[in-house]
Protein backbone atom coordinates (compact mmCIF):
# COMPACT_ATOMS: atom_id res chain seq x y z
CA UNK A 1 0.00 0.00 0.00
CA UNK A 2 1.36 3.39 -1.02
CA UNK A 3 1.50 5.98 1.74
CA UNK A 4 2.53 9.59 1.84
CA UNK A 5 4.48 11.34 4.53
CA UNK A 6 2.57 14.16 6.18
CA UNK A 7 4.62 17.33 6.63
CA UNK A 8 5.01 18.24 10.29
CA UNK A 9 7.50 21.10 10.07
CA UNK A 10 5.15 23.65 11.57
CA UNK A 11 4.49 21.44 14.57
CA UNK A 12 5.72 22.64 17.96
CA UNK A 13 7.96 20.08 19.63
CA UNK A 14 10.03 20.03 22.78
CA UNK A 15 13.42 18.70 21.79
CA UNK A 16 16.43 18.01 23.99
CA UNK A 17 19.50 18.53 21.80
CA UNK A 18 21.47 16.24 24.11
CA UNK A 19 19.31 13.33 22.92
CA UNK A 20 19.92 14.07 19.24
CA UNK A 21 23.71 13.57 19.30
CA UNK A 22 24.63 9.87 19.47
CA UNK A 23 26.71 8.79 22.48
CA UNK A 24 29.43 7.30 20.28
CA UNK A 25 29.77 10.33 17.98
CA UNK A 26 33.28 11.81 17.94
CA UNK A 27 32.17 15.29 19.03
CA UNK A 28 30.35 13.79 22.01
CA UNK A 29 33.56 12.02 23.03
CA UNK A 30 35.61 15.18 22.55
CA UNK A 31 33.12 17.17 24.63
CA UNK A 32 33.35 14.57 27.37
CA UNK A 33 37.13 14.33 27.59
CA UNK A 34 38.38 17.83 26.73
CA UNK A 35 37.54 20.81 28.91
CA UNK A 36 38.03 23.81 26.63
CA UNK A 37 37.40 26.42 29.35
CA UNK A 38 41.15 27.02 29.81
CA UNK A 39 41.05 28.91 26.49
CA UNK A 40 39.39 31.90 28.19
CA UNK A 41 42.37 32.30 30.51
CA UNK A 42 44.83 32.01 27.64
CA UNK A 43 43.03 34.61 25.51
CA UNK A 44 41.82 37.15 28.10
CA UNK A 45 44.84 39.43 27.57
CA UNK A 46 44.07 39.61 23.83
CA UNK A 47 40.76 41.40 24.47
CA UNK A 48 40.07 44.91 25.73
CA UNK A 49 38.27 44.88 29.08
CA UNK A 50 36.59 48.29 29.08
CA UNK A 51 35.49 49.18 25.54
CA UNK A 52 34.57 47.78 22.16
CA UNK A 53 31.79 45.57 20.95
CA UNK A 54 30.82 42.39 22.80
CA UNK A 55 33.00 39.55 21.56
CA UNK A 56 32.27 35.98 20.62
CA UNK A 57 33.29 33.68 23.46
CA UNK A 58 36.87 32.63 22.73
CA UNK A 59 36.03 29.03 23.68
CA UNK A 60 33.26 28.98 21.06
CA UNK A 61 35.55 30.57 18.49
CA UNK A 62 38.28 27.97 18.93
CA UNK A 63 35.74 25.14 19.00
CA UNK A 64 34.48 26.41 15.64
CA UNK A 65 38.01 26.36 14.24
CA UNK A 66 38.50 22.90 15.76
CA UNK A 67 35.36 21.62 14.01
CA UNK A 68 36.63 23.07 10.75
CA UNK A 69 40.01 21.37 11.07
CA UNK A 70 38.54 18.07 12.27
CA UNK A 71 36.04 17.77 9.43
CA UNK A 72 38.14 19.36 6.68
CA UNK A 73 36.03 22.51 6.32
CA UNK A 74 38.56 24.99 5.00
CA UNK A 75 36.31 27.98 4.38
CA UNK A 76 34.89 30.09 7.21
CA UNK A 77 31.79 30.72 5.10
CA UNK A 78 31.24 27.00 4.66
CA UNK A 79 31.99 26.36 8.33
CA UNK A 80 29.23 28.75 9.40
CA UNK A 81 26.79 27.14 6.95
CA UNK A 82 27.61 23.71 8.38
CA UNK A 83 27.24 24.91 11.98
CA UNK A 84 23.83 26.37 11.14
CA UNK A 85 22.47 22.98 10.08
CA UNK A 86 24.50 20.40 12.01
CA UNK A 87 23.03 19.49 15.39
CA UNK A 88 26.24 17.91 16.69
CA UNK A 89 28.24 21.03 15.88
CA UNK A 90 25.66 23.18 17.69
CA UNK A 91 25.77 20.77 20.64
CA UNK A 92 29.58 21.04 21.00
CA UNK A 93 29.41 24.84 20.73
CA UNK A 94 26.60 25.08 23.28
CA UNK A 95 24.14 26.63 20.81
CA UNK A 96 20.43 25.87 20.69
CA UNK A 97 18.37 25.69 17.52
CA UNK A 98 17.40 29.36 17.62
CA UNK A 99 20.72 30.83 18.79
CA UNK A 100 22.38 33.19 16.34
CA UNK A 101 25.66 31.88 14.94
CA UNK A 102 28.48 34.44 14.51
CA UNK A 103 29.19 35.54 10.96
CA UNK A 104 32.05 34.08 8.97
CA UNK A 105 33.75 37.48 8.96
CA UNK A 106 33.93 37.47 12.76
CA UNK A 107 35.81 34.17 12.73
CA UNK A 108 38.07 35.32 9.92
CA UNK A 109 38.92 38.62 11.61
CA UNK A 110 39.71 37.00 14.94
CA UNK A 111 41.84 34.33 13.32
CA UNK A 112 43.78 36.67 11.04
CA UNK A 113 44.01 39.84 13.15
CA UNK A 114 43.65 39.16 16.85
CA UNK A 115 45.40 35.78 17.03
CA UNK A 116 47.74 36.00 14.03
CA UNK A 117 50.89 37.33 15.70
CA UNK A 118 50.54 35.15 18.79
CA UNK A 119 51.37 31.57 19.65
CA UNK A 120 47.88 31.01 21.08
CA UNK A 121 47.15 28.08 18.76
CA UNK A 122 50.27 26.28 19.99
CA UNK A 123 49.41 27.04 23.62
CA UNK A 124 45.91 25.60 23.16
CA UNK A 125 47.32 22.52 21.44
CA UNK A 126 49.85 22.02 24.25
CA UNK A 127 47.15 22.34 26.92
CA UNK A 128 44.99 19.72 25.23
CA UNK A 129 47.76 17.24 24.46
CA UNK A 130 49.97 17.57 27.53
Q: Residue 111: exposed, middle, or buried by beta-carbon count in 10 A (0-12, 13-18, 19+)?
A: middle
3-62 per-position pLDDT tens digit: 888 887 788 888 899 999 999 999 999 999 999 999 999 888 877 777 777 788 999 999
Closest CA to 107 of 55, 35, 54: 55
* Alpha-carbon separation of residue 88 from 45, 53, 63, 78 (angstroms): 30, 29, 12, 16
Can you tell me whether residue 50 is helix, strand or coil? coil
Round to the nearest angstrom and report the end-to-end CA distance of the chain.
Answer: 60
pTM given for the model:
0.85
Amino acid sequence: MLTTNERKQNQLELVYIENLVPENYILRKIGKFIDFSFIRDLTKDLYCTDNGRPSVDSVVLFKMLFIGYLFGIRSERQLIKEIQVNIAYRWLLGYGFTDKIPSYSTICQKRTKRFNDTNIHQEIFDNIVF
